[in-house]
Amino acid sequence: MGDRFAETPRKPRVDAARNRERLLEAAKTVFNAGGPDASLEAVARRAGVGIGTLYRHFPTRETLFEAVYRREVQQLVELAEQLKREASPVDALRRWLRSNIEFVATKRGMLAALALAAHGSSELYAYSFDRLTKAVGALLERAVAAGEIRSGINGEDLLRALVGMCYLHDQPGWQASVHRLLDVFVDGLRIRPPPDTKATTTARRRPAKKSGSRTRNR
C-alpha cells in the first residue's frame, strides 16, 4: 500500500515531461514550415494537447521559441559526440554540418520572435555559437589528425561558411541547394593523396607497343 501511494505523484511529472517534449517537437515543425507567424494553437494541435497545456509549459511565444532553439543546440552537441564514435572523420564532419542546415531553417523561421526573447537574442546566440563551435571543432580536429582534412581552418570558420550558404538563399527548397554547396565545400577541404610517383615513372619508361606488321613474301 505504501509503495503504491508513493509512486502516484510521479505520474504527473512523467506526463508533463512527455507533453513538453511533444510540444517542442511540434513547435520545431510548425515554425520551420510557417515562420514566426505560425500560431501556438497550431503547435498545440500538432502535439495533441490543449492550448492550456502549452501555456503551462511556455507562457509566451518567446519562451517556446527559446526552448526549441536550446533543444536544437543540445541535440547537435550530442550528435557530434555520437558521430565521433560511429562515422569516419570526413563523413562525421559532413553529416554534422548537414544536420545544421535543418537547425538554420528552424532558426530562420523563429528569427523575428527570438529578437524579442526575454533574455535577449545576443545571449542566446552567444550560447549556441560557443557550444556549436566546440562541437564542430572536435570533429574537425579529428579529421585533420587523420590526415583527411587540411589544417589552417577552425570550427568558427566552418560555422560561418555554412551560415553564409544558408542565408544566400531565400526561395522555397533552398535547403537542397545548400546541401549541394556543402558537399562541394567539404570536398574542397579534403587532402587528396599524392599520385604514385613510382608507378607513374615506370609507366613513362615502359616502351610503347609497336603495331604488328606482316611481312609479305614477294
Instruction: Tell me how far apart the alpha carbons of residues 167 and 156 are, in angstroms, rounded to a whole number.
Output: 17
Q: Which of 22-31, 115-124, 154-163 comes out lowest in average pLDDT?
A: 115-124
Q: What percentage of residues in the chain have a pLDDT greater than 90?
A: 47
Please give the single-letter amino acid code of residue 94. R
Q: What percentage of residues in the chain have a pLDDT greater than 70?
A: 75
User: Could you tell me the CA-to-CA distances from 202 to 92, 123, 193, 195, 199 in Å, in that order?
Assistant: 38, 62, 19, 13, 5
Domain ranges of the chain: 14-59, 61-191
pLDDT tens readout for residues 192-218: 876 664 544 444 555 555 555 444 444
Residue 167 has pLDDT above 90, yes or no: no
User: Could you tell me the CA-to-CA distances from 95 to 84, 86, 136 in Å, in that order?
Assistant: 11, 11, 11
| Contact status, residue 80 vs residue 53, Cβ threshold 8 Å | no
pLDDT tens readout for residues 32-48: 776 555 788 889 999 99
Fold match, 14-59 / 61-191: no
Mean pLDDT for all residues in the chain: 81
What phi, psi does 207 have (nearest 5°)?
-65, 145
- Residue 10 buriedness (CB in 10 A; 0-12 / 13-18 / 19+): exposed
- Strand, helix or coil for residue 146: coil
Tell me what the mean pLDDT of segment 106-113 comes to. 67
CATH for the 14-59 domain, from 3.40.50, 1.10.10, 1.10.3470, 1.20.950: 1.10.10
Residue 96 has pLDDT above 50, yes or no: yes
Does the domain made of 61-191 have the CATH classification 1.10.357.10? yes
